[in-house]
Amino acid sequence: MRLLIFGGTQFVGRYITEAALANGHEVTLFNRGRTNAALFPQVEKIIGDRNQDLDLLRGRQWDACIDVNAYVPRAVREALEVLQGAIGHYVFISTISVYADNSLPDQTEDAPLKTLDDPATEAVTPETYGGLKVLCEQVAQQMMGERTLIIRPGFVVGPHDHTDRFPYWVRRAAQGGEMLAPASPDHPIQFVDARDLAAFTLRHTESATNDIFHVTGPKTPLTWGALLQTCIEVTGGDTRLTWVDEDFIKAHELVGFGLPMWVASEESGLLRINIDKALQAGLTHRPLAETVADTWVWEKSRPDDVEHRFGLTAEREAQLLRLWHES
């Protein structure tokens, strides 16, 4: 296949590109050339900004386009206006954050979707992110019809995770000592290794599937207790977990950046999404220990002065643990 990939060098796109090359496909990357520009020297690269340089794609033909980095409907519409007649299939990487009620567990792909008070906004915030992705999906379906594949991942993890959400937990577990852990060891958690996401996406790109899939996991429900214990065992950290309750987490504003990937109970449906459809369509998950081990190897290879975007500093964690024990 001849594949056009928007992005293709950072994290999810990087693994989709790797999977496509491993399967013998002819790949063209369209991106700004700013992230990991030296990757994939054997691949054709069209350097441009999708907001102003889409004309660089005119006059070409591809069997499919995989769009990893569109966040507003205008970006999808403008791309497809240029690519009409030039691609056979359009694959849009969306999100499970598209649903109207994130408190509900076991939602399937046909659950009610979010709407925005201002559908014209292009401000991507935690409040608008899901609604904007809904509009992106709708534009794709309107313009490409039955030649559309929509992938809705949950949290994506693994090596090269530039978000630093999952790496924080691996890194912290390895450091040892008393570790602040969120809420309860029985609290649910879902995510997908970027490599498993890429394999599933490519498989259904190759078969020109017209459908929508939740791509998260694992198949057997996972808890925070099992996740953090695996991180400790794999990294060899001498780490003791102290579980602080949800009221404490909210009181100290730890939701989000402080405790990445943890969500409050009113949003916990995001971590209990139904993945039966994707499993039946061939989604597989590598062992959790493998994802943790590979992430730890990558994390240790990063420069010492790398900026960590998520998680608690040692000082902040120690302060919070003191407050917890005092309370």
What residue segments make up the domains of the chain, in order of their start? 2-153, 165-189+220-267+287-326
Percent of the chain at pLDDT > 90 equals 96
Q: SS3 of 182, please?
A: strand
Give me the long-range contacts of 120-123 (CB less than 8 A, separation at least 24): 122/72, 122/74
- Confidence band, pLDDT 50/70/90 cuts, at residue 206: very high
Over residues 39-52, the pLDDT tens digits come to 999 999 999 999 99
Provide the pLDDT for residue 304.
81
- Predicted confidence band of residue 314 (pLDDT cuts 50, 70, 90): very high
Positions of E strands within the chain: 2-6, 26-31, 44-47, 64-67, 90-93, 148-153, 156-157, 177-182, 188-189, 192-193, 211-215, 222-223, 239-244
Residue 295 CA: distances (Å) to CA of 153, 157, 167, 291 = 19, 8, 7, 6
Kindly tell me the sign of the dihedral angle through the C-alpha atoms of 181, 182, 188, 193: negative
pLDDT > 90? residue 305: no
Q: Residue 324 above 90 pLDDT? A: yes
Average pLDDT, the chain: 96
Quote helix, strand, coil % in the chain, to nearest 5: 40, 20, 40
Q: What is the mean pLDDT of residues 291-307?
A: 92
The mean per-residue pLDDT over the stretch 275-288 comes to 98
Structure tokens at 299: 């994390």
Three-point CA angle 58, 61, 64, nearest 5°: 115
Distance in angstroms (rounded) separating the CA atoms of residues 184 and 247: 12
pLDDT interval class at 98 (50, 70, 90): very high
pLDDT digits (tens, 9 = 90+) for 136-184: 999 999 999 999 999 999 999 999 999 999 999 999 999 999 999 999 9
Determine the average pLDDT of the residues in 61-76: 98
Range 25-53 average pLDDT: 97
What is the pLDDT, as a whole number, of residue 308? 82
Q: Is the pLDDT of residue 238 over 90?
A: yes
**CATH domain 165-189+220-267+287-326 topology:** UDP-galactose 4-epimerase; domain 1 (3.90.25)
Homologous superfamily (CATH) for 2-153? NAD(P)-binding Rossmann-like Domain (3.40.50.720)
